[in-house]
Structure 1
Amino acid sequence: MSIGFLRQAINALQLQSHGRTSHRVNQWFKWLSPGLSVKRWFFVSVGGFLLASLGLAIWIKLTPIFWILEFLRGLLGFLTDILPNYISGPLVLLCGILLLLWGQSRTVGSITEVLRPQGDEEELIDVLLAHRRLYRGPKIVVIGGGTGLSTLLRGLKTYSANITAIVTVADDGGSSGRLRQEFGVLPPGDIRNCLAALADEEKLLTELFQYRFRAGDGLTGHSFGNLFLTAMTDITGDLERAVAASSKVLAVRGQVLPATLSDVRLWAKLEDGRRIEGESSIPKAGGKIVQIGCIPENPPALPAAIKAIKEADYIIIGPGSLYTSLIPNLLVPEIADAIAAQNIPRIYICNIMTQPGETEGYTVGEHIQAIDKACGDRRLFDAVLVHKKTPSAQALIRYAQQNSHPVFLDRETVIKLGRRIVPSNILYEDETGFVRHDPQKLAKVLLKWYNGAQHGK
């Protein structure tokens, strides 16, 4: 019985050793993958070594080199006397290659120990391959605000690092509104959410940035992220520099830009004739919105935002609150003009549920018409992505109590508006019936549609 157990242990050790060896060989061969720019520099290094050796030999008049060569010739002659050259040659060649690979792997291992965070089991080569893939991804511009935008960014960042999020700065409620009144800064809330979503250490940063103080004179209700961005704005001079500096500190994958640096205040005209001012007051007014605008009228766009749109490969609008997150960005005329001028894939992500105080009873077509109207009846996107699966009965009951229902797809109206419909199952529903877009499913569908649109040109 002890002998059988010993045999099992030896077999297990052999399998484990074989697995480690196979994994290590696979990792070595990954360094030969195209696009890493490693092979060329390796051969340059070898050429430099050989050239330096030749220079040294010439400098010292070949005397030591001569004796080394004589020694090697004698050694190789001795080996060929014992073993034929067709055996000894490949054997020595193999030994040299193995020594070279061993030395290179140890060098890479030493570099990895310095660069890789403690406890991170991911190989350096895998990190480099992922980095190359992400930074070769399409240049994506996403326009919106609120939690919908940050949800989308969490999914997109796994496909490309060339992401620009253009975010509304019309928020005047909650912590952002208080900071806006007390310090005269632009509201940082939506920007904070996007920075956390694009950060490498997303989970920890999201918890940190979303942390709200529960005590303290003047601190109660404020989130740490809002205070952080407010302090950075005061240090750097404006919100654009504050966001850029914060992005470096947080290792953000992509960039987050405010739509404008103007102190924008939203207003809405309701069907009953009332005029409501303030982003947070509009949904609470309880009326149908017939017109939306901002003060000051026609605010100037951030130049970096216009540059990003002009250089984009792909533009995504939404998801998010129609009148208080999406349209405020498009009330900046230069942004709407830049989007309209682009002949690239452009898509709008329609919300899954209607929003009380903003889009009660709205269909997909009415969402599109509202965006077109706010932009001077122009078509800023070619397709609309809609969710095609009905939420659970639990979710429908929960939302019906808030006078919210699934957005109905009026297919004929959407087609008449000249938009292509992209139906997909992109819903995530938690155990309480709360509904939102699934970040990974949404990003996968968007990239699939983008690739299809590119090939269809």
Structure 2
Amino acid sequence: MAKTWIRREVEIPNHMALARLEKCPELGPKLLFFSGGTALKRSSARLVNYTHNSIHVITPFDSGGSSAEIRRAFNMPAVGDIRNRLMALADQSLRGNPEIFALFAHRLPKGEEQEPLRHDLDQMVRGRHELVARIPDPMRKIVRNHLAMFQQNMPEDFDLNGASIGNLVLAGGYLANRRHLDPVIFMFSNLVQVRGTVRPVVNKNLHLAAELADGALIIGQHRLTGKETARLTSPITRLYLSDDTGRAVDQPIRDKMRTLIQGAELICYPMGSFHSSVLANLLPRGVGQAVAGAACSKIYVPSTGDDPECLGLSVADQVERLGQVLMADAPGIRLSDVLHFVLVDTAHGHYPGGLDLARIRNLGVEVIDCPLIGYGPSPDIDDRFLVPILLSLA
């Protein structure tokens, strides 16, 4: 079978193409997102109206909150961001799905003694807690079984304060499936009719480590974001995967992940925490080669507003760093192999480090400048604008 590149002019957004996709989303394009946290949550929920084939490569390196306690107890990857994306892509119109969503979004109270928290968990395992009782079978039985597996293996000193029930369910499923995430994701994707594919970039218990310009070494994703600890006061100069001691780990992606990336019809590096959400996904060995080998458009959507991880970085700096991480994967990869477009809104977007559009264009990357910010006080990129643009480029 012969392959060739075709250059075409695209209307952004292409309303005719969007109307066709809305009528038949099960045949929609394979848009692949390298993302981690909640920045893409609303866009993911809107995306299912146009395609059921989007691919979401998720970082499993979160080291804060409920995820940290689960990882400490079971030596496993973080599942919180996976849970969030599964729920964002679930078909909320199906019977039982809103109930599953409510349970997965529920957290046990903070600041409580362990005994009442363990009682709440036990009530869920027994099916007597209202959030579990209203879930229809067979989902209720599966949820109870996974929570029971978690409960049976939970260490005596496990702290349930603020625990995400969805994370506990997925952790129980992980333990029940011989410490494999794929079967758990597959099962819940089918149960709640997830309209897309969600996968961790790697299935290993690894951490993010960062070297700062002042010589400091930061270990742990939660220490980079400024959400649970003090904000960074020195720019990040190097980001890498590590064990819990900070020793660098060379972790390759699996063939399954390589196939997903190379089969994409558009690759998007979306808004979100630049280092801990976007770049983190690009660090495992093989990602850069897979992206370079994908015959599709590749686009970066920089965040608007404040990103504590981008201290001292303009959007042009971010573009260079994104390219450096991907090109370092193997000799011969060029920036033009891994990035074609940068999507910005110069009229309404706020980019604290500046844009430097001329420098971006000098790198050979095309700038698409169009409305991205919604009406109102929020500085965030509006999914009503972003999703149609991405679909029009696929």
TM-score interval (norm. to shorter): 0.7 to 0.9
SS in 2 for 1:414: helix
Check conservation: 1:197, 1:206, Cα contact below 8 A.
no
Deviation at 1:308, TM superposition (A): 1.1
Aligned pair 1:309/2:309, yes or no?
Answer: no
Residues in 1 aligned to 2:348 and 2:296: alpha-carbon distance in whole angstroms: 31
Counterpart of 1:220 in structure 2 is 161
**Aligned-residue RMSD, C-alpha:** 2.3
Residue 147 (structure 1) aligns with: 38
| Distance in 2 between residues matched to 1:270 and 1:291, nearest whole Å | 7
Could you tell me how far apart the structure 1 residues matched to 2:105 and 2:379 are? 20
Aligned positions of 1:89-238 closer than 5 A = 133-201=24-92, 204=98, 206-214=101-109, 215=112, 216-217=117-118, 218-237=159-178, 238=180
Q: Distance in 2 between matches of 1:181 and 1:436?
A: 34
Q: Aligned residues, how many? A: 307
Letter paired with 1:386: V
How many Å apart are 1:207 and its aligned residue? 4.2
How far apart, CA to CA, are the structure 2 residues paired with 1:257 and 1:143?
10
Local SS of the residue matching 2:389: helix
2:281 pairs with 1:334: no
- Would you say 1:443 and 2:394 are equivalent positions? no
CA distance in 1, matches of 2:54, 2:172: 25
Q: CA deviation at 1:290?
A: 0.8
Report the counterpart of residue 223 of structure 2 in structure 1: 281
Does the aligned pair in 1 maintain the 2:271–2:303 contact within 8 Å? yes
Supply the distance in 1 between the matched residues of 2:304 and 2:234 (Cα, whole angstroms): 21
Partner amino acid for 2:282? L
Q: Of the candidates 315, 319, 329, which is equivalent to residue 368 of structure 1?
A: 319
- The residue number in structure 2 matching 1:423 is 369
- CA deviation map 1:324-376 (0-9, x unaligned): 011111101212210012221111111112312x1124221011111122223
Report the residue type matching 2:177 in the other structure.
Answer: T
Matched to 1:225, the amino acid is G
Describe the SS at the equivalent of 2:187.
helix
Distance 1:250 1:418 in 2: 43
- 1:119-166 Cα deviation digits (max 9, x unpaired): xxxxxxxxxx98971121112211111112323322222211111101
Q: State the alpha-carbon separation in 2 of the partners of residues 362 and 158 from structure 1.
A: 35
1:411 and 1:311 map into 2 onto residues whose CA distance is: 30
Is the 8 Å Cα contact of residues 211 and 236 (structure 2) preserved in structure 1? yes
Larger Rg: 1
For the residues of structure 2 that align with 1:189 and 1:342, how far apart are their CA atoms? 28
Does the 8 Å CA contact 2:21/2:27 hold for their aligned counterparts? no
1:442 is displaced (CA, Å) by 0.8
TM-score, normalised via structure 1 length: 0.63
> What is the distance in 2 between the residues matched to 1:207 and 1:288?
39
Cross-structure match for 1:292: 239
Deviations along 1:241-269, whole A, 9 cap, x unmatched?
Answer: 11111111111001100000121211111
SS of match in other structure, 2:286: helix
The aligned counterpart of 1:383 is 341
Match among 256, 265, 274 for residue 322 of structure 1: 274
Distance 1:242 1:293, change over 3 A: same
One-letter amino acid of the counterpart of residue 342, structure 2: V
How far 1:211 sits from its partner (Å)? Answer: 1.8
Give per-residue Cα distances to partners, 1:295-326, cap 9 Å, x unaligned.
25221213322111122211111221111011
Distance 1:206 1:286, change over 3 A: farther
Give a deviation string over 1:82-135, Cα, whole Å, max 9, x none.
xxxxxxxxxxxxxxxxxxxxxxxxxxxxxxxxxxxxxxxxxxxxxxx9897112
Report the Cα distance in structure 1 between the residues aligned to 2:108 and 2:55, rounded to whole angstroms: 30
Distance 1:250 1:315 in 2: 26
Maintained 8 Å contact 2:263/2:294: no
Q: Closer, same or farther in 2 for the Cα pair 1:289/1:171, shift >3 Å? A: same
Select the residue among 185, 193, 218 that pairs with 1:243: 185
**CA spacing shift, 1:268–1:305, aligned 2, 3 Å:** same
Q: Pick 1 or 2: higher relative contact order, CA cutoff 8 A, min separation 6.
A: 2
Question: TM-score by structure 2 length?
Answer: 0.72
- Runs (5+) with no aligned partner, structure 1: 1-128, 397-404, 451-457
Q: Which SS does the other structure have where 2:327 is aligned?
A: coil
> Residue 210 of structure 1 aligns to which amino acid in structure 2?
A
Mapped to 2, the partners of 1:196 and 1:387 lie a distance apart of 29
Percent of aligned pairs with the same residue?
27
- Could you tell me how far apart the structure 2 residues matched to 1:173 and 1:291 are? 21
Letter in 1 for 2:348: T
Q: Is the 8 A contact 2:27 2:51 kept in 1?
A: yes
Instruction: Please say if residues 76 and 204 of structure 2, whose CA atoms lie closer than 8 Å, have aligned partners that are also in contact.
Output: no
CA contact (8 A) 2:46 2:383 kept: yes
1:406 Cα offset (Å)? 4.1
Distance 1:407 1:437 in 2: 17
Counterpart of 1:292 in 2: which secondary structure? Answer: strand
**Equivalent residues of 2:288, 2:327 under 8 A apart:** no
Q: Of Structure 1 and Structure 2, which has the larger fraction of its residues in helix?
A: 1
Contact 1:352–1:407 (8 Å) recurs in 2 = no
